[in-house]
């Protein structure tokens, strides 16, 4: 009789652990793998990262957050938020302008410093030139770009990303182990 109670306790404990783990993975965090080179040098092809699925339920996306979103039914993409609702975005001569004000993108400074004269990293464009041809980013949408601007399929081709498409915010690299840490 005592042995049966012990088995039942173990089964309950294992079921509870499984339910908690499933809940955490479904609602809070989930692992994913970076595929491709569009986020280099920040993230590398094959990096294993953790996505916080909860953060945008309690707060709005912020400029320069790195997000995972549903690009289509089969694929999730990882990109950096550049433009927020209500903003007008344009690039000219490797400078990001938000509502006409220049904004520094420190995460690509090294790339810009290494450019050959007359080469382009982020080709000039404005919000009106991307699919949707908006004058400002509508409520509930963001404009995203890859950090590797010359090799990234992003809002310039896909258009704006709706909040509904966002899976979550990339918060840390857990593999390879030497790159373990938070994502900036």
Single out the catalytic residue among 38, 55, 152, 155.
38
Residue % of the chain over a pLDDT of 70: 85
Residue 29: pLDDT above 60?
yes
Q: How confident is the model at residue 52 (pLDDT cuts 50, 70, 90)?
A: very high
CATH (residue range 28-175): 2.10.109.10
Instruction: Quick: pLDDT tens for 91-128.
Output: 998 889 999 999 988 877 766 666 655 556 678 899 99
The string of pLDDT tens digits covering residues 72-82 is 888 999 999 99
Domain range list for the chain: 28-175
Among 53, 55, 79, 169, the active-site one is: 79
Active site residue 162: no
Residue 63's alpha-carbon distances to 123, 160, 164, in angstroms, are 20, 14, 17
38 counts as catalytic: yes
pLDDT of residue 67: 97
């Amino acid at each position: 009789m005592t042995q049966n109670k012990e088995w039942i306790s173990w089964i309950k404990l294992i079921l509870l652990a499984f339910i908690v783990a499933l809940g955490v993975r479904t609602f809070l965090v989930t692992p994913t793998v970076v595929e491709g080179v569009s986020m280099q040098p920040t993230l590398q092809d094959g990096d294993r990262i953790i996505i916080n699925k909860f953060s945008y339920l309690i707060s709005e996306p912020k400029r320069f957050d790195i997000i995972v979103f549903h690009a289509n039914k089969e694929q999730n993409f990882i990109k950096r938020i550049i433009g927020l609702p209500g903003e007008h975005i344009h690039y000219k001569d490797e400078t990001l302008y938000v509502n006409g004000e220049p904004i520094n993108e420190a995460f690509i400074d090294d790339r810009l410093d290494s450019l050959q004269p007359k080469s382009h990293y982020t080709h000039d464009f404005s919000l009106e030139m991307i699919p949707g041809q908006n004058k400002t980013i509508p409520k509930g949408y963001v404009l995203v770009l890859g950090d590797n601007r010359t090799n990234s399929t992003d809002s310039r081709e896909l258009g704006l990303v709706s909040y509904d498409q966002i899976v979550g915010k990339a918060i840390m690299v857990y593999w390879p182990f030497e790159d373990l840490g938070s994502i900036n």
